[in-house]
Amino acid sequence: MKQKIINPSTDEVITELELAGKKEVESAISSARVAFDKGTWPAISLKERKNFLLKISQGILDKAGDLAKLESLNTGKPIKESTFMDIPSSAKTFEFFANNLEKYLGPDTLKLQDAHCQLLREPQGVVVLIVPWNYPLLIASWKLAAALACGNTVVLKPSSLTPLTALELAKIIQEADLPKGVVNIINGSGAGLGEALCSDKRVDMISFTGSNATGKQIIEYASKNVKKLIMELGGKSASLILKDADLELAVNGSLCSIFLNQGQMCTAMSRIFVKDDVYDKFINDFTEKVKRIKLGDSLGYETQMGPLISDEQRKRVLEYVEKAKHQGAKLLCGGKIPDDPRLKNGFFFEPTVFSEVSPEMGIFQEEIFGPVVCVNKFSTLDEVIALANMSDFALASSIWTRDDALAQDLAGKINAGIIWINTYGMFYNEVPYGGFKQSGFGKELGKDGFLEYTRLKNIIIDKTKDSKPLVNYWYGF
């Protein structure tokens, strides 16, 4: 069966690809299992493993221009974003884990009473990596670089909407001469392949990034055979703008925090709370700049915001907007499909700002995954902390203030896995990323994210006098 891959800027077919079925899933899992159990990959030296990852990193850089164009063509994200963010960051992730794997995987020996304990980090085994459509190459790189660096073999399933850069990555991996079966990439729908991939007892671990609903389904599938899980799920993140904030900085940062990648980010600051003293100034400046955001074809270098991923996604966003208007939220700008004839064929939607949004409204509580933001005012710190935490999600938050001590105090009271102070979206390979509550569990990136892809073995060596611990003679006197 073939699936058409669509350019969301034009609704034109880029290409048609065969969709994998259960036969291909069986082949991929079997190949990864054999490569782990009988192949050379888990046993090669760490230096060799490092060199393989560096080859992949360089391969991404060598094809950076083509990959950026392909990513924008397939996802609709502006070419500036894919060129300066997604592609180089993908290469950097492979480089980072390559250069740190020896340090992270080194054995640790503890001296205990009458014993020495050696802690060893070993690969989990066969790891299934399931990647979303909003950052196809970057999130694939986060997962794949760490999994391979730890010595695992993998089955990577990109979104069937945006598989093109993952398939190019497969070519780069092949050119790097990784052993056969170490990396297996299959293109297919989650509905068609999810249960077969996630319930198989030959799979030792699943790392998933995507929606909360799909995450719950994967947990159900995985429960049929116990295995390690990383669940990076949705968000409904809150941005807090205090009275003393640098408003120019806060306005510009807030624009990026919700309209980057058309708002199709799990960390999108879709709820902005502004101190009542500065609310009018903030909302006037913010909405004026929102109205000037340039929509356009994803391959245009002047484009600031591209289309949504699909017509289905646009309909979903529009339903949220109409419901919010019906419930009494005040629409300040946007909220509709643009009438520019140059955009008529793509899945474009105007950047949208609401005010006077109450906590019981859907746009306050539910992840829209589009360019829609609620901007509300607050009076006290206790009030804004309560509002920020009034969500089932707990992924990220931004705090804007010149008072560093206050920012640190607030960061400790906000229920979120990532807190940015006077900025948004700064991801570093050195530090972990992940949320709490319905935003999932487990980490990506950093040492903590790296070690998620390992299992910890404890080896205890007797060091009692004359090698005669009491337990060996408990029944022997």
What are the structural domains of the chain? Answer: 2-233+439-460 (3.40.605.10), 238-421 (3.40.309.10)
- What residues have CB less than 8 Å from 296, skipping those under 6 apart? 78, 302, 303, 304, 305, 306, 342, 343
Does residue 469 register a pLDDT over 80?
no
pLDDT surpasses 70 at 76: yes
Put the strands of the sheet holding 183-185 in their side by side order.
Answer: 183-185, 153-157, 126-130, 205-209, 228-232, 440-441
For residue range 256-293, list pLDDT tens digits in order.
Answer: 999 999 999 999 999 999 999 999 999 999 999 999 99
pLDDT digits (tens, 9 = 90+) for 81-134: 999 999 999 999 999 999 999 999 998 999 998 899 999 999 999 999 999 999
Mean pLDDT of the chain, nearest integer:
97
353-379: average pLDDT: 98
Comparing 473 with 141, the larger pLDDT belongs to 141
Query: Both tokens of residue 98?
Result: 């390559």
Residue-level pLDDT at 466: 79
Percent of the chain's residues with pLDDT above 90: 95
Q: Which pLDDT tens digit goes with each residue over 280-290?
A: 999 999 999 99
Mean pLDDT of 218-222: 97
Hey, which residues are catalytic here? Answer: 232, 266
pLDDT of residue 477: 59
318's enclosing H/E stretch is helix 311-327
Q: What is the mean pLDDT of residues 17-24?
A: 95
User: Which pLDDT band holds residue 471 (cuts at 50, 70, 90)?
Assistant: confident
Cβ contacts of 423-429, under 8 Å, gap ≥ 24: 423/253, 423/398, 424/239, 424/253, 424/254, 424/256, 424/257, 424/269, 424/398, 425/256, 425/257, 425/260, 425/265, 425/267, 427/89, 429/92, 429/93, 429/96, 429/97
How confident is the model over 137-184, as pLDDT tens digits?
999 999 999 999 999 999 999 999 999 999 999 999 999 999 999 999
